[in-house]
Structure 1
Amino acid sequence: MQEAKRLQLRRIFWNSDTGWRLGAIFIALCVVTPILTLGWLASQGSLSHWAHLLNFVIPTAFANTVLLLLGVGVLVTCLGTGAAWLVTAFSFPTQRILSWALLLPLAVPTYIVAFAYLDILHPIGPLQGLIRDILGYSSPREFRLPDLRGLPGAIFLLGFVLYPYVYLSTRVMFATQAASLLEAGRILGLSGRGVFLKVALPLARPAIAVGVSLALLETLNDIGASEFLGVQTLTVSVYTTWVTRSDLAGAAQIALAMLAIVVALILLERHGRKRQRYANTQRMRPIQPKPLKGTAALIAIGLGWAPIIIGFIAPALYLLNQTIKHLHIAGGVSSQLIQSGLNTIGIALVATLVVVVCGIVVTWAARSTRSASPYAFTKLCARVSTVGYALPGTVLAIALLTPINLVDDAIAWVAQWLGNTSPGLWLMGSSTALVCAYAIRFMAISVGGLESGLARIPPSLEQASRLLGETATGTLRRVHLPLLRPAIGAAALLVFVDTMKELPATLLLRPVNFETLATWLYAEAARGTYEEGAVAALAIVLAGLLPVIVLARSQLKSGH
């Protein structure tokens, strides 16, 4: 009897799907290890320096971080929700263009927007010079705009760059709401504003919560814009504590506090929509946009294009102008910048390949597992493998140091045991550490895209393949991979561009004398040589346009 039970358990937990399950478990452990290491590092540090941190660092950094998150959250909610309702509920000139153009600020990383506006709004910059010429002033001493550096400027710029996260999710929710619900509100005596506030907006709360949480996670991950604008956040404190003071344990302790804020944000978002349940058993008729004419149409055009001009058009035109000037004066692009571009493309391609392959392993392990207990476990592994996206780049870099050094030590020990010379810092001394950081941070993009693609494939195809004697691997190779090509392509494109834009983790984990376009731009901005950094910034923006175009096409399809 016991032998029969043993054989039954062996058939459940060790079959043709076991290899995929082991791969999913390994990937989940790789994602969890840095988080556990972060707690261990924080516990190893001395608490003696906390008197200094609590007196001079933490209060200001924590207050700035909280105020920055609150300000950005309010601004992206207003901009994203308002823009989504404007292009969904009303029809006016350029409305169709606006429906996808409102996504364009996603192509510009936050640190590039700060980099551009610091020069555009400089007291002797083009904008203030033009205003003084119009008003008849001759010197910045006579007239100058408020300084952009500071917390209000950071909230303003980050809000106008990150609002598309709210716009994207909320517009889909507005576009799929039944017109009959809004008409019922009108029949009950609600005005147009009342229908929006009391019917459409409550129904869109889950989508708004998701978009705001993503925008806040990006705000917490930011280091370049905050440092350029002189805002001391917890992210900047982690970087300066490690790099300037060489205090890894102290940086880990601050990073652990940041991780607590991230968990609080995620729990708050989950709590805000845990009881939101909507069902519609009738055939939905989409909202019919209300035509606007005259002054109302002009106001709608102005409101719709203002976020695009501030968040994309103005910084993009500035970067283009500065790039043309630099190329004309310098006679071309420097060899160091070309090498930085090649480094960026090379490491982004490698990271994209690793992330997509790991995403396929995780999603297919959950899909192909048929027994109840292993299925629940592999689904848990799939969920765990995506938590890296919630880790800010600085936190992830701090957490990866110890595991990477342990692996380097193990490789050196094995090499010496075999009689070979030590390879040195094999992981830390190469770009492998960067690839690991990118893979952990952006695994959620690959897993989410592939899960959506697999959900569209009927299970009957897999069942037919398995009944015909095909293994799980053969079913994936011959049936699902050809059908998953669009999902794989979209996920790979998003991961590629995100790795090109990533700054915090790259700053902390890059090898010596290894520059990417993001770190080149950061260094040039720190030196104040904006013309040199404009070329790298424009290249990053052009690369960021690719996923925006893909998102825009999907938006137009959903609109149809």
Structure 2
Amino acid sequence: MTDEKTQLPRMPRLAIPGGWSLGAGVIAALVLLPILSVVWIAFHPSENIWGHLLATSLPRYASNTLIVMFWVGALSAAIGTLTAWLVVMYDFPAKRVLEWALLCPLAVPGYLGAYALVDFLEYAGPVQTGLRAAFGWTDARDYFFPDIRSLYGAIFVLTVSLYPYVYLLARAGFREQSGSAHEVARALGARAFRRFWSVGMPLARPAIAAGTAIVMMETVNDFGTVDFFGVQTLTTGIFSVWLEAGNAGGAAQIACVILTLILVLVGLEKVSRRNSRFSRMSRGDRVPPVVCLTGRRGWGVTIFCAFPVLAGFVMPVAILAHHALTRPERWLAPGLGRALANTVLVGGAAALLTVAAALFLVYGARLSQRQGARLLLPVTTIGYAAPGAVLAVGLLIPLAAFDNALADAVLAMTGRDPGLILTGGAAVIVYAYAVRF
């Protein structure tokens, strides 16, 4: 016998994912579920109408979407960038108010702005009524007035609603620039526009590109505004094919086209920032010099910065407030209180769930020693790029099928019809909001 102890070989331990990684994986799976569901339904439709869509309505949906997206993105980039430059680089009357008022249109949904604009400018609205009374016109054949319910009306409303995304990011980009670059350009004789185009714009290009990409994605995502103006886009096409034609597979195929367009936008935004050079103000740098504008120039800048605020916030709020105050009996309309309570309940629950999931992911990625939680963090943000109509297709179609099967099973076992358990309440809406935001 030997005194030496026999040592058995150590069995390798299984790598069990930690709590942070496991939780991040669950959240990522819940975010990807509706998107993967859309892709699955699109490639496995019960009735394939892809060829019919290509030959009939899809080109019209796609062309209108691209036109609206391009012009809203371009106009929002121009308005947001110029107003941000003026606010950061110049001092003019009412600057302190306009600096924050330029963000106010974000508080007015696009479809409410559309309703207010049409109510104000349509044939029976106060503008055309006043023109007919002033010039003695009797009907629409006596004068020309542009049709507000058109593609151009939708572009205008979406622009004045979404430009604050560009303004907010561009303002931050201009403020973080080093004042030395602007002082050197001024010393070399560069005038105001030259300094803006050759110094300010290149340094703030990443921020402007990011804001413009967000505006374009929100434009593709919009349904209420374009539907109110009668513009047929890919988003309205989803509901038309799904609800009117009753073809879920065709709706999912249009949703995949939207997803492809969104991925192209995200890719272009990344490429545009890849080789861009920008500098941030270090601790020893001075802020960019502020030029004081007085007289006509100062008031001209004030009017320019005030116009998008008036069109995107003041006018819609004033029109809606006028209707609300002139019809006080509508405040007691049946169902208004319940609608308000449902809005607060759904919005509050979605906000709590979204914030809790975001805190869990960010805090977990910070504390976790595993790469899994950190690698899954970008995956969980893909839901923001998915339009609400796409999430609706990806969630409601499979959940409705499962809900009906579950209700049939309960009815067969108990003799009682439980109704739609999952899709019959607000839970699926809260889930969709959490995935989206």
Normalising by structure 2, we get a TM-score of 0.92
- Residue 325 of structure 1 is matched in structure 2 by 326
Q: C-alpha separation between the residues in 1 aligned to 2:86 and 2:9?
A: 68
Comparing 180-189 with 62-71, which one deviates more in the overlay?
Answer: 180-189
Q: C-alpha separation between the residues in 2 aligned to 1:178 and 1:411?
A: 62
1:378 to 373, 391, 399: 373
1:432/1:420 CA distance change after superposition, 3 Å: farther
Per-residue displacement from partner, 1:370-421 (whole Å, max 9, x unpaired)?
2xxx2x2211222111111111111111011344246547866996899796
Q: CA RMSD in A?
A: 2.3
Say if 2:223 and 2:235, in contact at 8 Å, map to a contact too.
Answer: yes
- Residue 298 of structure 1 is matched in structure 2 by 299
Q: C-alpha separation between the residues in 2 aligned to 1:355 and 1:397?
A: 18
Normalising by structure 1, we get a TM-score of 0.73
1:37/1:186 CA distance change after superposition, 3 Å: same
Q: C-alpha separation between the residues in 2 aligned to 1:128 and 1:198?
A: 44
Tell me how far 1:45 sits from its aligned partner: 1.9
Say if 2:61 and 2:233, in contact at 8 Å, map to a contact too.
Answer: yes
1:496-515 residue pairs with structure 2 within 5 A? none
Identity among equivalent pairs (%):
37
Q: C-alpha separation between the residues in 2 aligned to 1:45 and 1:418?
A: 31
Per-residue displacement from partner, 1:81-110 (whole Å, max 9, x unpaired)?
010011111111101111100001000011
Q: C-alpha separation between the residues in 1 aligned to 2:8 and 2:39?
A: 42
1:418/1:284 CA distance change after superposition, 3 Å: farther
Tell me how far 1:282 sits from its aligned partner: 6.3
Number of residue pairs matched by the alignment:
430
Per-residue displacement from partner, 1:214-266 (whole Å, max 9, x unpaired)?
11111111111101111000000001111111100000001100110000000
Q: C-alpha separation between the residues in 2 aligned to 1:3 and 1:57?
A: 68
- Residue 357 of structure 1 is matched in structure 2 by 356
**Which is bigger in relative contact order (C-alpha 8 A, separation at least 6)?**
2
Tell me how far 1:337 sits from its aligned partner: 2.0
Say if 2:81 and 2:170, in contact at 8 Å, map to a contact too.
Answer: yes
- Residue 23 of structure 1 is matched in structure 2 by 23
- Residue 368 of structure 1 is matched in structure 2 by 367
Tell me how far 1:189 sits from its aligned partner: 2.5
Q: C-alpha separation between the residues in 1 aligned to 2:415 and 2:8?
A: 49
Within the alignment, does 1:188 sit opposite 2:188 as a pair?
yes
Q: C-alpha separation between the residues in 2 aligned to 1:283 and 1:130?
A: 59
Q: C-alpha separation between the residues in 1 aligned to 2:394 and 2:263?
A: 16
Q: C-alpha separation between the residues in 2 aligned to 1:130 and 1:51?
A: 50
1:310/1:3 CA distance change after superposition, 3 Å: farther
- Residue 310 of structure 2 is matched in structure 1 by 309
1:53/1:411 CA distance change after superposition, 3 Å: closer
Q: Which has the larger radius of gyration?
A: 2
- Residue 60 of structure 2 is matched in structure 1 by 60
- Residue 232 of structure 2 is matched in structure 1 by 232
2:12 maps to amino acid: R
Q: C-alpha separation between the residues in 1 aligned to 2:139 and 2:414?
A: 72
Gaps of 5+ in 2: 1-6
- Residue 174 of structure 1 is matched in structure 2 by 174
Within the alignment, does 1:439 sit opposite 2:410 as a pair?
no
1:279/1:79 CA distance change after superposition, 3 Å: closer
1:430 match: secondary structure: coil
1:87/1:4 CA distance change after superposition, 3 Å: farther
Say if 2:47 and 2:249, in contact at 8 Å, map to a contact too.
Answer: no
Q: C-alpha separation between the residues in 2 aligned to 1:130 and 1:232?
A: 32
- Residue 217 of structure 1 is matched in structure 2 by 217
Tell me how far 1:176 sits from its aligned partner: 1.6
1:110-129 residue pairs with structure 2 within 5 A? 110-129=110-129
- Residue 3 of structure 2 is matched in structure 1 by none
